[in-house]
A and B are shown apart, each in its own frame.
Chain A
Amino acid sequence: MLKALLARAHQGHRTTAYPDGEPPALPERFRGAPTLDPSRCPEGCRSCADVCPTDAIGGDGSLSLDLGRCLFCTECVTACPEGAIAFTNDYRLATRRREELVARGQELALADALERNLRRLFGRSLKLRVVSAGDCNACSADVNVLGTIGWDLGRFGINYVASPRHADGLLITGPVTENMRLALQKTYDAVAPPKIVIAVGACAISGGPYAGHPEQHGGAASVVPVDLFIPGCPPHPLTILDGLLRLLGRIEDGSRAVSSRTA
C-alpha cells in the first residue's frame, strides 16, 4: 500500500490542460492539415495524383486533396517536383460534411457545433457506443486512448458505453466490412433517437486503403447517416478530441485559413 501511495506521488497528475491550456506537443514529423499551392503545378503534371495510394488527389486540372481518403503518407510530397503539397502540424481536421474534407488550397471549414436542440441534449453528456467495423485496431486504439488519464474524456461528459441502449450515438471505425454491415445496422437501430454518428479514420470515411474491395462498403455513411467526419490514418487523439469538442460547441473558431505559401 505504501508503495502504491509512493507511486501515486511519483507519477503525478498527467492529464493534459487542453483545451483550457496548451495542447500536448506534437512531434516535429507529425502530419496534420495539408497546404496546397496549385499555382506551383506545372501544366498537365500528375506526379502527386499518380502515386497516391488511395487516389485522394484530384487530377481534374486543379489541385485538390480529399482528406477523407488521405492516409497522410507523404508519397505526394515526395513525388511533387515543385513543392506544391506540404503537411503542417495543424491537428484540427474534423468536419461536419463529407465534401468539406476536400482541400483545394482555400480555407478548410472546421466542424461546427450541433444544432441548438441537440446541443442542449448532448452538450454536457454524450455517451458513445464505439463500433469497430473492419478497422485495423489503430483507430480503435487512439479512440480508446482518450479514455486514459492523459486525456480524460470524462472531463467533458463524454464516455464510451457498453450498450447502444445507453448511448446517444455511435462512433464508428473501419470501412464497414460486409461481415459487419448487419451488426452495425442493428447497433444503430438500437440507439434511441435523436442520435448522432461519428466516423473516425480514413476507412470509416471512404474505405481507406480498402476502398473498392468487394468485402467492404466504403465507410460508415454507406449504412448510417454521419454527423462528424474525423480524418486520419489513424487520426491523432488530439484530432479526435478536437472534433468531438467542436461538435459539442466547446471549441469555437469557425474556419481556419490554410496558408498558401507563395514562392
Chain B
Amino acid sequence: MTAGAATRNGRALALKDVPSLEPSHFRGWLVNALRDKGKRLVSYFGSAADSSSGPAAEGISLVAVLADDANGRLSVARTNCDGTAFASLVPETAQPHLFEREIAEQYGVRFEGHPWLKPVRYHHSYRPAHDAWGRPADATILPGVTDFFRVEGDEVHEVAVGPVHAGVIEPGHFRFQCHGEEVFHLEIALGYQHRGVERSVVGGPTKRTLPYMETVAGDTTIGHALAYAQAVEALAGMPVSARAHAIRGIALELERLANHVGDLGALAGDVAYLPTAAYCGRLRGDFLNMTAEICGSRFGRGLVRPGGIGFDLLPAQVEILRSRVAVARREVTEAVELLWETPSVRERFDRTGTVTPEDAEALGLVGPAARACGIQRDVRHDFPSGIFRFVHLPVMTAHHGDVNSRAYVRWLEIRQSISFILDQLDGLPPGGPGAAAGVMRPDSLVVSLTEGWRGEICHVATTDAAGRFSRYKITDPSFHNWIGLALALRGGQISDFPLCNKSFNLSYCGHDL
C-alpha cells in the first residue's frame, strides 16, 4: 500500500500529504490492494472541495481509504476525475460496488463498466447539470423507480414488499425473484430515509452538527457521536481525559448490549419462541435505562461531545450501574441460553441465510455479520482508539455465516461487553469530563473509526483553509452489509426473510443518511 499516505485511526493529516495520484495509478493501487493483497475498502467518496492540489473547477476529487486489518494500518489517496466519467473498479474487485453508485449519484460521474450502476438514495446530483443517468434537472426522481433484475420462466414470480412494512420498522423496498418457494435473488432498494445529513455538515461545525451525528442512526447515537468526536479531537488537537474515554467506552458497550439483547429477542420472536422474545424485549430496555442513568437519555443523547463527555458519573451512579449490570447479566444469561437449548429454535437458526466467508471477504462485510463468517474484524481490536488502546478485547467469531452464527456472535459479545463494563466501573480513572471547544486545523483530513454494534463506523472529515468541514463522509456499517443480506437469501425461502433480516438488523437511515 505504498501509493497511499499511511495514517492511523483518529490521526489528522495535512491534505498536502495525501498523495494525488494519476487516475490509472489510483485504480491500479486500489485493484492491487483489494483484489491481490486482501485489503479492505473502508471509504471511497467524491468531493467537490477545492484544495491546494485539488481538482480543476469542473472536476471532482475521489478519495479512497484502505484498511490493512491485520496490521492496523490505514492508507489514503486521491485522484482527480473530470466529473463526467471514470472507469469502474467493480469488474476487477467487488468492494467498491456501492461506493461507486453513491459517487455517481452525488456527483454525476458515470462509472464506465460498472455492472449495475443504479441510484442509491434517489436524489438529484449535488452538481447541477451533471447527472450520471442523463436525467434532466427538473426530472422527478422517485425512490425505487429503477431497473431491477428479473428472472423469467415457468413458475417464476416476483414478490415486492415495502417501503411501508408490516412491523414497526424503517422503510425500504425489497424485490424477490422466486422460483416456486426458492428465492433466486433479492434486490434491495433504499433511499426512503434520505434526510441530507452529509451535505448539511459542510461548512460546519455548527450548533446542529452534534444532533445530526446523534441521529445518523439513532440506535447508534454513541457510535456515531464517538466517531465524530474523535474526528474533531484529531483536527483540533484536543486532549481527552482518561475518565472521559472510560465512560465513552461504557456507553458504547451499553449501546451494543441493548441492541444485541434486543436482536436476540427479536430473532426468538421470529421463530415463535416467546420466552426469550419476551425476556429480551424487556432486558433491552433495562440496558437503555442504564444509558439514561448516565445522561438522562435512553439513546445516549448529549453524552459524547468533542473533547470529552457531557455527563460525568458520580459514585452513587457507579454503584447503581454496577448492581443493575450484575442483575442484567444473570437475567440475560438465563433468557439467551434457552435459545441454544431449544431444538425448535436451533432447527430454524441453523443453516438459514448462510453467507460464505469468501463472499463476506469479497464484499467487505463488517461487524457481527463478518465475524459470524469467521472473519477476525473488529475496530476495537484492529484500530483501537480511546479506552480500547488500554483494554484489549479479543475478537468474537463464529464459523457458519448463518443466522445461528450471527446470533451466537452477539451472545459472545454480550458476555464480553458486560465484563468490560464491570471492569471499567471498578476502576474509573480520575479526571474531568472535558468537552471544551477547539479550533480545527485547516486543509487537513482525518479518518475516524469506531466499532458500533452493527460494525465499523467510518467518518472521514476534510477541512478547508478556514478550518471548517469541506467534506464529511459518513459510512455506516449498514452501507457495507446490506448486500450481505441480499446474498443470505439466495437459495432460501421468502419465509426466511424476516429471520435473516433480523439477524443482520441493518440501519435504513444510517445507509440513507
Chain A residues with CB under 8 Å of chain B are 3-4, 7-8, 10-11, 14, 26-31, 51-54, 71-75, 129-145, 147-150, 160, 162-164, 174-175, 177-180, 182-183, 187, 208-210, 213-216, 233-234, 236-237
Contacts and interface: CB of A to CB of B under 8 A. Distances in A.
B143 A179 contact: yes
Contacts of A133: 171
A74 B193 contact: no
A138 B208 contact: no
A8 B275 contact: yes
Interface stretch (B232-240, B334-342, B375-383): B334-342
7 contacts: A3-B337, A7-B275, A140-B169, A209-B212, A215-B195, A233-B215, A233-B301
B218 A179 contact: no
A250 B171 CA distance: 32
Given A11-B279, A29-B292, A216 B195 contact: yes
Contacts of A234: 218, 298-299
A178 B410 CA distance: 35
A182 B144 CA distance: 12
B399 to A, nearest CB: 26
A7 B200 CA distance: 49
Contacts of A28: 293, 296
A148 B286 CA distance: 12
B278 interface: yes
Nearest to A232: B297
B301 A141 contact: no
A72 B301 contact: yes
Interface of B: 121-123, 142-143, 163-164, 166-171, 191-196, 200, 207-208, 210-212, 215-219, 221, 275, 278-279, 281-282, 284-285, 289, 292-299, 301-302, 310-311, 331, 334-335, 337-338, 341-342, 507-509
Contacts, number: 178
A71 B169 contact: no
Give the dominant DSSP class at B's interface.
loop
3 nearest CB pairs, A to B? A138-B218, A136-B218, A29-B296
B168 A144 contact: yes
Contact of A213 (B122, B163, B195, B217): B195
Given A137-B170, A180-B163, 20 more contacts: A7-B338, A28-B293, A51-B207, A53-B210, A72-B301, A73-B302, A129-B164, A132-B170, A134-B509, A135-B509, A137-B218, A137-B509, A138-B299, A149-B278, A174-B193, A177-B193, A209-B215, A215-B123, A233-B211, A236-B298
Contacts of B169: 132, 140
Nearest to A171: B168
A28 B284 CA distance: 20
A155 B508 CA distance: 31
Given A27-B296, A29-B296, A134-B195, A183 B171 contact: yes
Contact of B215 (A131, A143, A147, A208): A208
Nearest to A25: B289
A179 B192 contact: yes
Contacts of A177: 192-195
A11 B196 contact: no
B507 A209 contact: no
Contact of B334 (A10, A30, A180): A10
A132 B171 contact: yes
B164 A136 contact: no
A71 B285 contact: no
A180 B512 CA distance: 12
Contacts of B168: 130, 132, 140, 143-144, 147, 160
Contacts of A53: 207-208, 210-211
A91 B507 CA distance: 28
A147 B262 CA distance: 13
Contact of A134 (B164, B193, B217, B282): B193
Contacts of A179: 121-123, 142-143, 191-194
B338 A4 contact: yes
Of the candidates B171, B217, B219, B282, the one having the most CB atoms from chain A within 10 angstroms of its own CB is B171
B336 to A, nearest CB: 10
B301 A182 contact: no
Given A53-B207, A72-B297, A72-B301, A137 B275 contact: no
A130 B168 CA distance: 6
A204 to B, nearest CB: 13
A162 B167 contact: yes
A148 B178 CA distance: 34
B196 A214 contact: yes
Given A8-B275, A136-B509, A215 B216 contact: no
B302 A74 contact: yes
A108 B508 CA distance: 36
B227 to A, nearest CB: 15
B294 to A, nearest CB: 8
A177 to B, nearest CB: 6
A182 B218 CA distance: 24
B285 A148 contact: yes
Given A71-B211, A187-B164, A209-B211, A182 B142 contact: yes
A136 B191 contact: no
Nearest to B209: A53
Given A11-B331, A160-B168, A179-B192, A150 B285 contact: yes
Contacts of B207: 51-53, 75
A123 to B, nearest CB: 23
B457 to A, nearest CB: 14
Contacts of B310: 74
Nearest to B275: A4
Contacts of B298: 142, 234, 236
B116 to A, nearest CB: 20
A10 B328 CA distance: 12
B293 A149 contact: no
B293 A73 contact: no
A180 B122 CA distance: 11
